[in-house]
Amino acid sequence: MVRVRYDDVTKRYGNEIGAKNIDITVDDGEFAVLLGPSGCGKTTTLRCLAGLTDPTEGEIRIDGTDITDRHPKNRDIAMVFQELALYPHMGVAANIGYPLKVEGVDKATRRERVEAVTETLDIGELLDRETDELSGGQRQRVAIGRAIIRRPSVFLMDEPLASLDAKLKVEMRNEIKKLQRELGITTLYVTHDQEEAMTLGDKLIVMNDGTVQQVGTPAEVYHDPANQFVAGFIGSPSMNFLRVRREAAGSQRVVAANDATFSFSVERLPTAVGDTEPFVLGVRPQYFSVHQSPIDGAAKAEVTVTEPMGDEQLLTVQFDGDGREIAVRAPFDVGVTRGDTIWLGISGERAYVFDVETGARIRQTELSTDTAVPTGSRP
């Protein structure tokens, strides 16, 4: 049982905040992914657990034992670095076996375990090579081998796939996932790549500006974002955000907040949204319905760019008399070209409402029963 717990951890660099009030738990055997844009504090958070960075405040526990003031080598943690950090003056076998050598394991046992690990990673034939003779993917495997050979209680990875090309990335991603399942080692993985995060993680920890924005399963952070940042960060192309208000008191129609250049019907607007105050409406590109003739409750818009993408096409659309551009995904058979006029509607359950000031999500007071989305726990 290895359970990692961050208890109100804060790291300051002088006046700058590295990470603030981090309060998260990673359960035994769980694959947790720290996700966020660069500079969001995800690497700082990871390094605090490794002991490479000392938190300014707070405690980190592994299985209830406070390890905050412990030397990294006494934490039973292994890490794969973004730069991989293979020892250039050692061969493959020496690199992988090094943690055991430091631990004082005898040569024969070491060799045995190195062979076992390389077997698992499918790099048995590389044992006697020098590290500079390896390809990117092979170097990756050696770095992973060096991390798992000790059977650490926690396994950390800091953007390990960042330097690989797209195809290799997908391949290694699957491999890491498989390996983690087999070994059952509690894992924390840092990335800025949401696709990587979604496919790898049991649990996503989305961070921004040094703070945790949301913790949840990939489905939860996608379908039930806690705030405007998470909603905009997860999903590609990004969610569209429109500043709107109700058209009239109690109306289910919204209009552009300042100039009413467009209007939509949105079912089930949260009752918490007042009648005249502006709010942010978030709609993913694929949740617009595209019509080529006027239809009630839809907003008139003009197509400015079309990008065919196989089964679908991505339209860039501008509302009438309004500079704002939004992205819309439509089936490929909707025959529109640049300059065409279309009407956009919204399927009600898929529009999100956020507070203008704080970006916090404003939810339905009564949750609809027919939503397809699992609504899970939130922090």
Partner 1 sequence: MSLQSDTAVGGRYESALLWVEDHLRWILTLPALAVLAAFFVYPVGRALVLSLYQFDAAGRQFVGFENYVAILTAGAFWQSLWITAKFMFFAVSFEVGLGIAIAFVLNSKVRFRGLIQTIGLVPLVISPTVVALLWQLLYQNGGVLDSLVAPLTNGPVPWLSDPSIALYALVLPDVWQMTPLVTLIVLAGLQSVPDHVQEAAMMDGAGRMRRLVDVTLPYIKELVVLVLILRVIGTMRVFAKVFVLTRGGPAKSTEVISMAMYREAFSYGNYGRASTMALLLLLIALAITYAFATVSEVEF
Partner 2 sequence: MATDTQPSREVGRTLLAGVERIHETLDSYGLVPTVTNGIALLFVVWTLFPVYWMVSGSLRTRSDLLATPPKLVSTALTVENYPELFVQRPAFYEFLFNSVVVTVGSTALAVLLGTAATYGFVNYEFPYNLGRFHLPFLVLTTRFLPPIVTVIPLYVIFDTANLLNTRLGLVLAYAAFNIPFVVWMLKGFFAELPDSIVEAAVLDGHTELGAFFKIVLPMVRPGLIAATIFTVINAWNELLFAVILTSNTEAQTLPVALATFKTAYAIQWELLTVAGTIAMAPVLLFAFLVREKLLRGFTMGAVR
Residues that bind partner 1 (CB under 8 A): 62-63, 65, 67, 69-71, 74-76, 103, 150, 153
Query: Do the strands 77-80 and 65-66 form a parallel or antiparallel pair, or are they unpaired?
Result: unpaired
How long, in residues, is the chain? 379
Q: Is 49 in the site for partner 2 (CB under 8 A)?
A: no
∠ CA(2), CA(6), CA(12), 5° rounding? 140
Give the residue with the Cβ less far from partner 2, 72 or 232: 72
Give the residue with the Cβ less far from partner 1, 33 or 62: 62
Beta carbons of 127 and 115 less than 8 angstroms apart:
yes
Q: Is 69 in the site for partner 2 (CB under 8 A)?
A: no
DSSP 8-state symbol, 221: H
Beta carbons of 183 and 148 less than 8 angstroms apart:
yes
Q: Closest separation between CB of residue 65 and partner 1, Å?
A: 6
Number of residues near partner 2 (by CB under 8 A) = 22
- Alpha-carbon span 116 to 304, nearest angstrom: 58
> In 3-state terms, the chain is what percent helix, strand and coil (to 5)?
25, 35, 40
Q: Is 132 in the site for partner 2 (CB under 8 A)?
A: no
Q: Closest separation between CB of residue 62 and partner 1, Å?
A: 6
Q: Is 216 in the site for partner 2 (CB under 8 A)?
A: no
The strand ranges marked E within 136-196 are 154-158, 186-191
Q: Backbone phi, then psi, for 370, in 5-degree steps?
A: -95, 10
Q: Is 105 in the site for partner 2 (CB under 8 A)?
A: no
Q: Closest separation between CB of residue 17 and partner 1, Å?
A: 22
Q: Is 15 in the site for partner 2 (CB under 8 A)?
A: no
- Alpha-carbon span 26 to 29, nearest angstrom: 8
- Alpha-carbon span 352 to 231, nearest angstrom: 9
HSE-CB for 72 with a 13 A CA cutoff: 14
Q: Is 195 in the site for partner 2 (CB under 8 A)?
A: no
Q: Is 16 in the site for partner 2 (CB under 8 A)?
A: no
Q: Closest separation between CB of residue 119 and partner 2, Å?
A: 21
- Alpha-carbon span 96 to 111, nearest angstrom: 10
Site string for partner 2, 307-346 (x = CB under 8 A): ----------------------------------------
Q: Is 71 in the site for partner 2 (CB under 8 A)?
A: yes
79 binds, among partner 1, partner 2, none (CB under 5 to 8 A by kind): partner 2
SS3 (DSSP) at 86: coil
Return the residue of 146, 169, 192, 203 that touches partner 2, per CB under 8 A: 146
Q: Closest separation between CB of residue 252 and partner 1, Å?
A: 57
| Contacts for 125 with CB less than 8 Å, ≥ 6 apart | none
Q: Which residues pair with 32 in a beta bridge?
A: 188, 203
102 binds, among partner 2, partner 1, none (CB under 5 to 8 A by kind): partner 2
Q: Closest separation between CB of residue 101 and partner 1, Å?
A: 14
Binding residues for partner 2 (CB under 8 A): 50-52, 71-73, 77-79, 81-85, 87-89, 98-99, 102-103, 146
